[in-house]
């Protein structure tokens, strides 16, 4: 019984596929007749209708050139808020637009100008680090997403945070 049901399903699938091919055959035949009457057009190749290669396309994109990708604040005291400005130049051939910035930790806040940076012009990404409750060596990453080649750029900050001395309440046992 299972073989009969399976055979019937295969036969129906074959009939359906043949009928769908036949419905296209008529339109293909009419297309062929129309094509034989028309004269083939020759395409003129210009710089406007040629797709650029990936190397050419990436050369047209904006591109960051940072003065530095890493910054060390040195040793700071716990509770200090320090900041640094990372300066960059757009060395690409189109306006550079930063879409977003994010930091690896909530204690680090990046900010940037929302205006496009024209080719050859400079821009900035400002980074603030709050050392409150962050004693010890700190390494943070700032991720920038932009219309650049490559699309994601990372900046790095580090510092050594000296912990606060804790005040002692009440008597001290010696």
**131/80 Cα distance (integer angstroms):** 6
- Is 51 part of a structural domain of the chain? no
- Is 149 part of a structural domain of the chain? yes
Beta strand 108-112 with 98-103 is: unpaired
Token couple for 55 = 């190397």
- Is 69 part of a structural domain of the chain? yes
User: For residues 128 and 82, is the Cβ–Cβ distance under 8 A?
Assistant: yes
- Is 31 part of a structural domain of the chain? no
State how many domains the chain has: 1
Q: What is the CATH number of the domain that holds 68?
A: 2.60.40.10
pLDDT over 90 at 135, yes or no: yes
The residue segments making up the domain with residue 89 are 60-162
- Is 115 part of a structural domain of the chain? yes
pLDDT in tens, 65-84: 999 999 999 999 999 999 99
- Is 15 part of a structural domain of the chain? no
- Is 13 part of a structural domain of the chain? no
- Sign for the CA dihedral angle at 91, 116, 154, 56 comes to negative
User: For residues 148 and 92, is the Cβ–Cβ distance under 8 A?
Assistant: yes
pLDDT in tens, 12-64: 444 444 443 333 334 444 444 444 444 444 444 433 444 445 555 566 899 99
Which of 69, 63, 78 lies closest to 127 in space, CA to CA? 69
pLDDT over 70 at 159, yes or no: yes
Q: What is the pTM of this model?
A: 0.64
- Is 50 part of a structural domain of the chain? no
């Amino acid at each position: 019984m299972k073989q009969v049901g399976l055979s019937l399903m295969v036969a129906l699938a074959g009939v359906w596929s043949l009928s769908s091919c036949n419905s296209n055959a008529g339109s293909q035949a009419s297309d062929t007749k129309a094509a034989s009457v028309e004269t083939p057009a020759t395409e003129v190749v210009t710089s406007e209708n040629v797709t650029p290669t990936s190397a050419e396309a990436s050369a047209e994109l904006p591109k960051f050139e940072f003065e530095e990708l890493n910054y060390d604040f040195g040793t700071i005291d716990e509770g200090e808020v320090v900041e640094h400005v990372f300066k960059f130049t757009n060395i690409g051939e189109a306006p550079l637009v930063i879409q977003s910035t994010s930091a690896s930790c909530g204690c680090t806040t990046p900010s940037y100008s929302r205006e496009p940076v024209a080719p050859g012009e400079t821009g900035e990404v400002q980074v603030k680090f709050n050392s409150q409750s962050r004693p010890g060596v700190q390494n943070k990453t700032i991720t920038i997403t932009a219309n650049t080649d490559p699309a994601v750029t990372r900046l790095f900050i580090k510092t050594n945070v000296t912990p606060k001395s804790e005040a002692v309440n009440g008597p001290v046992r010696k």
